[in-house]
Structure formats: structure tokens, C-alpha cells
Structure 1
Amino acid sequence: MAQSFESWWEKLGPITKIILVLSVCITIVGSSGVVSPYKLIVDFNLTVFSFQIWRIVTAAFYLGNFSFPWLMALAMLVTYVKLHEESEFQGRRADFVWMLTLLITFLTVVAWIFSLPLVSFALTMSLCWIFCKRNPTAKLSIYFFEFSANIFPWALLAFHVVLGQSVMDDVAGIVAGHGFLFLHDMLPKTHGMKLVETPQFIKTWIPHQRLFGSVHSGVHAVAPAGRQPLNEQPAHRNWGQGRVLGTR
């Protein structure tokens, strides 16, 4: 029996809902012509020296203009945010928000260095990497090919290479995700160092609350479609081709 949108919406966690609405709203703004897409992407000089701080947020959740590839990209982003919120961060909203903050911050710096226009696709890959490493027995698929989660990100990256797509976002996302796992999961066990613990003020601002059941043991993903280019591109930018990662 098909699930209604209302039922599906009610099952989403608050952070997943916020990211979904935020991404859709940013897309509406960029697609409608109210704001130039260029005002939503990464730009170091304008962010730092003109105080256009909103670019850090918009570049993290802008997936291009409305299209089928955009829909697939949004579904993937929502899927991995939802999986994290329902599994490792069940009842730990503050910790999840802090992880997202760290990932976006790191990826924004990488985007500044390598002139990447958006952070959203790399963020999605970083969430995929973290989920797969923490749930290595989960099953995910690219079209008709199923992979264990422990090798799924590499299979997805290889698929992008075969399609001739840019893998810079994938690589940046993998580095960010692995870096977080090293600092958050490994260092405390091997050296007793807790370098990325959630600050107390965030825990006070976002109280923990248990909301969900356990994560599903099996996750299915669909293969990527090419990322839609933005309508307006500055001449010095190399946008390349993007991708959509897996979704359930």
C-alpha cells in the first residue's frame, strides 16, 4: 500500500524536516530568479570580506534548479540525514547538529581552496561515508548491483569515474567523513582524546530527545544522475559534472 505524503512527513525527524524544507526553499529562490544562483554558492572573498555569511548555508544545501537530477539529489540527501537521525543520533539532536556543522565547515574550506561552487554534494557523500562505516553490514545498491556498505562509497565513486563525472565532491566528502570518524570515534579509544565533542552550549540550546526506533538493517540506493548546471555561471568557474548518490 502506498504511503501518503502526510504519513511520510510525520515520520521524519525535526532535523531532517528542517534540511528538506531549507533545501527546497533555497532551490525556489535560485530557480525563480528572485536571487541569482551565483549569490548562493561558495565565494571566499564575498563570504569573508563582504560578510555574505549565508553562502556557507546555501552552498551546503543548494542542489541546483528544479529537475529530475535535483529530485534525486534531494532524495539522497534526505535519506542519509534521516538514517543518521534515526540511528547513531537517535535522541541526540545536539550531537547531530554539531557533526553537520563540523562537516560543512571543513567542506567549505575545501571548496574555497579548490574553487568548488557547492558543498551540498560533498556533504551528502560525507554522510554516506560515515553511515556506511558505522553500518558496514547494511546493503546498498547502484541500479541492479548490490554492495555491502563497507565498499559502497568506493563503488559509487568508481561508477562516477566510468560515467566521466567529476569526483572532486566525492573525494572531499570521503575525506571529511573519514576525518570526523577518526577524531570522534577512533582517537577517544586509542589515545583518550576527545577533540570534537559537542560543546555544552549546543547541548543546552538543543536538548536531547529520544524520538525514533532503530535503524533499518537494509538500505537501498539508486544510481546517480548528472547534476544539473546552474543557470548563471561566472566565467572563471569550472562547474564540472555532478552526481546524485544513492537513496533508499
Structure 2
Amino acid sequence: MSSPAEYYNSLPPISKAYGTLCLLTTILVRVQILKLNFLYLYYPFVFKNFEIWRLFTSLIFLGPFSINFGIRLLMIARYGVMLEKGAFEKRTADFLWMMIFGATSLLVLSAIPMFNTYLLGIPMVNMLLYVWSRENPNAQISIYGLVQLRSFYLPWAMLALDVIFGSSLLPGLEGIMVGHLYYFLAVLHPLATGKNYMKTPKWVHKIVARFKIGMQANSPVRPPANNNTGTGPFRGRSYRLNQD
């Protein structure tokens, strides 16, 4: 059995980075290095006081240490990791672009009064869960060892559990909405029309290549030259969701 350090090092880069940021943020709030009113999204503070960091910090806070926090963190470690290692295998830039698209969509959605949400970490996790469920619709999932269901219904089951345990319906629903928007634009619409409006931008590929984050088999850009070797890991066949 691998050690915790070996398990952590084996995680794919984007899921690992996002989960780590969420955990560190909650730790910093718990030890009172960060205050909650420093993190939440409030657009008057963003635009009038130029507190731009709120656009980012609101996305990486899953709440204080609690059962709900643990469940969300485990969802990143399980479903985010399986998604990045499965449907997005060797497609780090595409996965990063999905996360950027999801975060941007949630920020825009939160600006609408009826969808206003101050903390967007839970919607981000629900977006990951929804996309994973669409990529693996027939997997069998056990909820607390009591109920077996197809993974296609898992996001809705988690939404129902949020309501049962007294949490707000809106954050989870926002995550499902954004996850469906991404899946429609990246998968369903291209399959139906042959047109892909969600092609990963070159600047995202350049970030992955420049910092050597994971691997992108269908990258249109090459990583910086390595004097020790004449090859790089960013070559290979093309994959769906990022075809011309």
C-alpha cells in the first residue's frame, strides 16, 4: 500500500492543485490567519474597492472543517481525479480550460441577483461531479453503503442530500447548470453539428507547456526546448473535445 505522500504525488496536477488550495484555505481560516469576510465574493467590494482577489478566493473555499467539507474534498480527490485521469487523460490543458470556463461561468452567474452566491467552492465541485457523471453515466455508485444508483444520477442525489441535511439548494444547482453548459458546448454540440466552440485556447496550452504541467497530447504549441533531450511529452494523436 502506498504512503500518503506517494498517493499525493500520484494525483494528476490540476485536481491536486485545486484540492490542495481548498484544504489550505480552510486550514488558514481555521487558525484565523485568514478571515471569512476576506474570501467571499461581493461585487461592490470587487469593483468599488478593487478587491480583485475575491474573484479567486471565493472559488477555493469549501467551508469550515465539517462533514460537508470532508465530503466535498473527497469528491475532488475521487471524481475530479478520475475525470482528469480518465476522459482527460493526457489532456491537461483541456482539463485546465474546463476549470477556467467553469470558474468564469460561476462568477458571471453569481452576478445575477437571483443566482447570487458568495462562496463558489461547492458549485465548482458540483460542476466536476456533473461532468464526470456524464462521461461515466453507467458506473454503479453506492451512497453511504445504503443506496446503489447509476452515476448519471449522482449529482442530483447529492443535491437532494444537501437539502435533506439543511444546506442551500442554490450552490449545488449552479454547479450542475455550469457543468451541463460545459458538457453541451464541449461534447454534445460538436457531436451533433461538428462545430466545437469550446476548443482550448492557445494561451492555456502555452501555460501547460511553459510550466510543464502534466501532458497535452494534442497541443498546438511545443514546450520550451530541453537541452538534455530532443523530445518532449506534448505530442500524440488528437482527442475529442479539442478537435478542429
TM-score by length of 1: 0.77
1:43 equivalent in structure 2: 42
**Contact 2:93–2:216 under 8 Å retained in 1:** no
Q: CA deviation at 1:156?
A: 2.4
Largest Rg, 1 or 2: 2
CA distance in 1, matches of 2:141, 2:55: 30
Distance 1:152 1:74 in 2: 16
User: The residue matched to 1:173 in structure 2 has which SS?
Assistant: helix
1:165 to 144, 164, 167: 167
1:35–1:152 CA distance, 2 compared to 1 (3 A): closer
Deviates more, 1:62-71 or 1:5-14: 62-71
2:17 is the alignment partner of 1:15: no
**Tell me, what secondary structure is at the counterpart of 1:151?**
helix
Question: Residue 67 of structure 1: CA displacement?
Answer: 3.5
Shift of the 121–192 alpha-carbon distance from structure 1 to 2, 3 Å rule, reads same
Deviates more, 1:69-78 or 1:37-46: 69-78
TM-superposed deviation, 1:126 = 1.1
The one of the two structures with greater contact order (alpha-carbon pairs below 8 A, sep at least 6) is 1
Matching residue of 2:229: none
- 1:88-167 equivalences under 5 Å are 88-113=87-112, 114-143=115-144, 144-167=146-169
Matched position secondary structure for 1:176: helix
Structure 2 CA distance for partners of 1:30 and 1:185, relative to 1, 3 Å: same
Partner deviation per Cα, 1:74-94 (whole Å, 9 max, x = no partner): 222232221121011111111
Does the CA-based 8 Å contact 2:131-2:179 persist in structure 1? yes
Deviation at 1:59, TM superposition (A): 1.1
**Is the 1:41–1:118 Cα contact (8 Å) retained in structure 2?**
yes
- In the TM superposition, what is the alpha-carbon distance from 1:138 to its structure 2 partner? 1.1
Separation in 2, partners of 1:108, 1:97 = 17
CA displacement 1:33-55 (0-9 Å, x = unmatched) = 22321111111122233332222
Aligned runs of 1:23-102 on 2, under 5 Å?
23-102=22-101
CA contact (8 A) 1:98 1:198 kept: yes
Give me the whole-angstrom Cα distance separating, in 1, the residues matched to 2:66 and 2:155: 24
Maintained 8 Å contact 2:122/2:171: yes
In 1, Cα distance between equivalents of 2:35 and 2:92: 33
Deviation at 1:184, TM superposition (A): 0.8
Q: Give the Cα separation in 1 of the matches to 2:153 and 2:67.
A: 27
- Tell me, yes or no, if the aligned pair for 1:60 and 1:123 is still in contact at 8 Å: yes
Q: Is the 8 A contact 1:111 1:118 kept in 2?
A: no
Question: Cα RMSD over matched residues?
Answer: 2.0
User: After superposition, where does 1:183-194 map in structure 2 within 5 Å?
Assistant: 183-194=185-196
Instruction: Mark the CA change 1:165 to 1:27 in structure 2 (over 3 Å): closer, same or farther.
Output: closer
Rounded to whole Å, the distance in 1 between the matches of 2:47 and 2:78 is: 32
Distance 1:45 1:133, change over 3 A: same
Offset at 1:9? Answer: 1.1
Gaps of 5+ in 2: 210-214, 218-232, 234-244
Closer/same/farther in 2, CA of residues 132 and 204 from structure 1, 3 Å limit: same
Deviations 1:212-241 (A, max 9, x none): xxxxxxxxxxxxxxxxxxxxxxxxxxxxxx
CA offset at residue 205 of structure 1?
2.0
Amino acid at match of 1:122: P
TM-score (normalised: structure 2): 0.79
